[in-house]
Amino acid sequence: MINKVEICGVNTSKLPVLKNEEMRKLFAEMQSGQMEAREKLIQGNLRLVLSVIQRFSNRGEFVDDLFQVGCIGLIKAIDNFDLGQNVRFSTYAVPMIIGEIRRYLRDNNAVRVSRSLRDIAYKALQVREKLLSDNSAEPTIAQMAEQLNVPREEVVFALDAIQEPVSLFEPIYNDGGDPILVMDQISDDRNTDEQWLETITIDEALKRLNEREKHIVSLRFFNGKTQMEVAEEIGISQAQVSRLEKAALKQLKKYV
């Protein structure tokens, strides 16, 4: 996907590369009102966008979409760049392109998270970085909550909410053979030996009931119907259903 030659109608193999002197000249022309210089700056820096979107190649997003969003970040960087600052344009632009793509991914996440919750989460991450820098130790949730003046539970909930969902088919290890997927590391409590034996035991116990009792147990406990619904379906009273059900359960308990 990332190795596409043409993205959004742009032949990436033929993108121009501007030297630093050319960039400064074009910025000066643009800031004097020459919009043609702005277009040249955009075209001359599209390779920056290409280099950035490669960082997001494992997100499952269409490369054309990421490229367009990255171009928005590039244009914002061009429009706000200050020639008076002693910094290369690429140093200034790359974080802006990354920020634009991250905002897009965050706002288009499959799991919708409220803006207020996202704000708490990102503030918590900033506080974490500051506490880590100041104390040279990983801060606790309680410390972050105290800094933000919000309940500890809110911080936990907010940080959990911004975690990106992971596919069960995401490979986590590959030694050259078949990859190990996330789903391979998840235990299934429903398929234990104990569950298997219980299922066999219940099946055997059900065979000891007569047809009407089996039908009532099936409707009540496998189909989730009420006694009234069972009574209507098989044409007897609810009291009769209750008596038959109790007798059937007594038989099952005796066998199990």
| Spans of all domains in the chain | 6-107, 115-161, 190-255
* CATH fold label, 190-255: Arc Repressor Mutant, subunit A (1.10.10)
Closest CA to 66 of 98, 96, 89, 43: 98
Distance from C-alpha of 140 to C-alpha of 62, rounded to nearest angstrom: 37
Give the residue among 179, 182, 186 at the shortest CA–CA distance from 170. 182
pLDDT of 2: 47
Which pLDDT value is given to residue 175?
A: 62
Report the 10 Å Cβ neighbour count for 205: 17
Tokens read off for 111: 């799991």
User: What CA–CA distances, in Å, run from 181 to 74, 121, 168, 170, 171?
Assistant: 37, 29, 7, 5, 4
Asked if the domains at 6-107 and 115-161 fall in one CATH topology, the answer is no
Whole-model pTM: value is 0.45
- pLDDT tens string 51-60: 888 888 766 6
Rounded CA gap, 243 and 183, in Å? 45
Query: Residues 138-190: pLDDT tens digits?
Result: 889 999 999 999 998 888 888 887 776 666 666 766 666 667 776 666 665 65
Q: Please give the Cα distance from 65 to 151 (Å, whole number).
A: 38
The pLDDT value recorded for residue 176 is 63
State residue 193's pLDDT score: 59
Whether the Cβ atoms of residue 151 and residue 145 lie closer than 8 Å to each other: yes
φ/ψ of residue 6, rounded to 5: -110, 120
The pLDDT value given to residue 1:
45
Topology (CATH level 3) of domain 6-107: Four Helix Bundle (Hemerythrin (Met), subunit A) (1.20.120)
**The pLDDT value given to residue 132:** 86
Phi, psi of 167 (to 5 degrees): -70, 145
pLDDT at 196: 66
The domain 115-161 is placed in CATH, from the list 1.10.10.10, 3.40.109.10, 3.40.50.800, 3.40.366.10, at 1.10.10.10
pLDDT < 70 stretches in the chain: 1-6, 8-9, 58-60, 108-113, 164-170, 172-178, 182-197
Report the interhelical angle of 89-107 vs 63-80 (nearest 10°). 130
Do residues 77 and 102 make contact, with C-beta atoms less than 8 angstroms apart? Answer: no
Beta strands in 81-229 (DSSP E): 171-173, 180-181
pLDDT at residue 109, as a whole number = 62
- What pLDDT sits at residue 81? 87
Q: Supply the pLDDT for residue 113.
A: 62
